[in-house]
Amino acid sequence: MKFTCSQNKFLEVIQTVQKAVPARSSTPILEGILFETEKGMLKLTGTNLEFGIESYMEANIIQEGSVVLPSRLLSEVVRKLPDAEIEITVSDNYAAMLNCLNSTVTLQGIAPDEFPSLPEVDEKDTIEISKMLLSNMIRETIFAVALDEARPILTGALLEVEGNTVTMVCLDGYRLALRRGMTDTPKQSLNVIIPGKTLNEVGKILDDEDEKISITVSDRHVLFDLGYTRIISRVLEGEFINYKQIIPEDYKTRVKADTKILSSSIDRASLIAREGRNNLIKLSLQDQKMIITSNSESGQVYEEIPILQEGKDLDIAFNARYFMDMLKVIEDQEICMDFTTSVSPCVVRPIKGSNYTYLLLPVRVYA
């Protein structure tokens, strides 16, 4: 195998595929990237068996072949090579020699035969969505995915398509995050539960360009097709929680608040809250004001912010971190918060439209 390519393009594609490569694996070949020549292009594949990334790049193929090279070491070597053309020559014993100006680096590779191939996904149920929208949907919901495996289905995000509407939902038993968007390719109905870890990496690969990507779903897999790069992941099997039932439509108290002011105040209250045992902040809604307090052995915080309040006064308490996780991803200048009682969830929505819905369970305070 022999080819030449530019250092910066090579590095970029290695770093993309590397997102699927485990740092340590009991199967050493998985710590590598599979390089193959295919249709006059270079194809790179990395996988952790849960999801895989394959990416094509243009290269000057001098001799066909394939090899598995250690991913982390290779990317560090290529990153430190000068910004020039690299010539890569793989010998019969899978040693890859990289020549670049006055540098020659030889890396011991592995025979490609044992490298697992990525599953084929039958391209029938496909939607198209803009990269930027998908990236935002992931960023604005993924923090609410369950991290423990007690209910495996909650470690994934529900992606649901109904007509032109695409919805992503994550929930972990304490909070729910929902983000809606539009697709140009209406489907009768489609839903799939994608592992949170996969979506995290998908989010890192998507750039902010307003190009479309396609998402294809089969019974057991989902394929994100970005053109030169394809990400293939297994899906979580089972029924997601009926999230629509959880979100209350009624409220007793509705509050409109400035997101930044609210966020700064809760951020300060968090500093003292996290010194305590249960990371608690208390909200008191009264007379068009929200009073935010926290206390622990280290001290107290008292914050007073102006709000637009409609309905009854209310005292309610939340986990400070869950509240901050949500506020960090909201970009709207103002938000609308609905409350019912001090033991029922708070629902956060935009002032206009229905792009997102967040639900936070309160903490019961015995005081």
Interface residues with a second copy (CB under 8 A) are 70, 73, 76-77, 80-82, 95, 102-108, 264-265, 267-268, 271-272, 275, 297-305
End-to-end CA distance of the chain: 72
Q: Which is nearer to a second copy, 81 or 348 (CB)?
A: 81
Q: Please name the amino acid found at residue 200.
A: N
Q: How far is the CB of 285 from a second copy (least distance, A)?
A: 15
Q: Which is nearer to a second copy, 7 or 135 (CB)?
A: 7
DSSP letters, 23-88, are SS-SSGGGGEEEEEEETTEEEEEEE-SSEEEEEEEE-EEEE--EEEEEHHHHHHHHHHS-SSEEEE
Q: What's phi and psi for 146, nearest 5 deg?
A: -70, 140
Contact partners, residue 310, CB within 8 Å, separation at least 6: 253, 254, 255
Structure tokens at 71: 């991913």
Place of tokens 């990525």: 118
Q: Which is nearer to a second copy, 87 or 125 (CB)?
A: 87
Using a 10 angstrom Cβ sphere, with 0-12 exposed, 13-18 middle and 19 or more buried, the burial of residue 254 is middle
Answer whether 118's CB lies under 8 Å from 52's CB.
yes
Question: Assign residue 28 a region: left if phi > 0, alpha if psi is -120 to 50, beta otherwise?
Answer: alpha
Residue 60 CB neighbours (<10 A): 13
Q: Which is nearer to a second copy, 41 or 271 (CB)?
A: 271
Answer whether 83's CB lies under 8 Å from 113's CB.
no
Q: How far is the CB of 245 from a second copy (least distance, A)?
A: 38
Answer whether 294's CB lies under 8 Å from 267's CB.
no
- The HSE-up count of residue 256 (CA atoms within 13 Å, CB side) is 8
Task: Report in angstroms the alpha-carbon separations of 103 from 7, 12, 75, 97, 336.
Answer: 13, 20, 15, 10, 60
Q: How far is the CB of 75 from a second copy (least distance, A)?
A: 10
Decide: helix, strand or coil at residue 340: coil
Q: Which is nearer to a second copy, 69 or 137 (CB)?
A: 69
Q: Which is nearer to a second copy, 77 or 129 (CB)?
A: 77
Q: How far is the CB of 265 from a second copy (least distance, A)?
A: 7
Q: Which is nearer to a second copy, 13 or 77 (CB)?
A: 77
For residue 128, give the nearest of 171, 52, 198, 186 by alpha carbon.
186
Q: How far is the CB of 267 from a second copy (least distance, A)?
A: 6
Q: Which is nearer to a second copy, 233 or 270 (CB)?
A: 270
Q: Which is nearer to a second copy, 214 or 259 (CB)?
A: 259
Using a 10 angstrom Cβ sphere, with 0-12 exposed, 13-18 middle and 19 or more buried, the burial of residue 238 is exposed
Q: Which is nearer to a second copy, 82 or 186 (CB)?
A: 82
For residue 140, give the nearest of 335, 290, 345, 344 by alpha carbon.
335
Q: How far is the CB of 60 from a second copy (least distance, A)?
A: 23
